[in-house]
Amino acid sequence: MTQLKGWRDIPIGGMILEAGNAVEYLTGGWRAFRPLFGEAACIHCMQCWLFCPDSSILVDVENEKMIGFDLEYCKGCGICASVCPVNAKVIRKGGEELERDDPRLCILMVEEGKFGEEDSE
């Protein structure tokens, strides 16, 4: 069994001492929400890619298009949906609040397990 580090052995503030080691930590398993494509067409502006703190937005580099989400690393924060300009333009009635899983959105956030995994691709 591996000996756990004591509090004196852990870097202050959880600093990353080895650059590029995030790929070793699959963090998608503890999210409460996950992104899905909605009915609105993506304009491939890449705002979601730019703001995603986990590099979970999958991009077809040759065609410069957003093609999906890497659910192994996505923590379900919803930043991608909140910065999406297509989502911001969804027409709603005065005072209407959009649900995070409203199908009219380009990127919607659904509760984990609400839809089948095949919908997330």
Q: For residues 81 and 107, give the distance between their C-alpha atoms in angstroms, rounded to a whole number.
A: 5
Q: Is residue 10 part of a domain?
A: no
Q: Is the pTM of this model over 0.85?
A: no
Q: What is the pLDDT of residues 42-67, one digit of tens each?
A: 999 999 999 999 889 999 999 999 99
Cα radius of gyration rounded to whole Å, the chain = 17
- Look up the CATH number of the domain holding residue 52: 3.30.70.20
Q: What is the pLDDT of residues 17-33, one digit of tens each?
A: 777 777 777 888 888 99
116 or 12, greater pLDDT: 12
Collapsed DSSP state (helix, strand, coil) of residue 61: coil
Contact 82/106 with Cβ under 8 angstroms? Answer: no
Residue span of the structural domain in which 48 resides: 27-89+101-113
Q: Is residue 78 part of a domain?
A: yes
Beta carbons within 8 Å of 8's beta carbon, 6+ residues apart:
none
Going by pLDDT thresholds of 50, 70 and 90, the confidence category of residue 121 is very low
Q: For residues 106 and 35, give the distance between their C-alpha atoms in angstroms, rounded to a whole number.
A: 10
Q: Is residue 17 part of a domain?
A: no
Total domains, the chain = 1
Residue 91 is predicted with a pLDDT of 81
Q: What is the pLDDT of residues 93-105, one digit of tens each?
A: 787 888 888 999 9
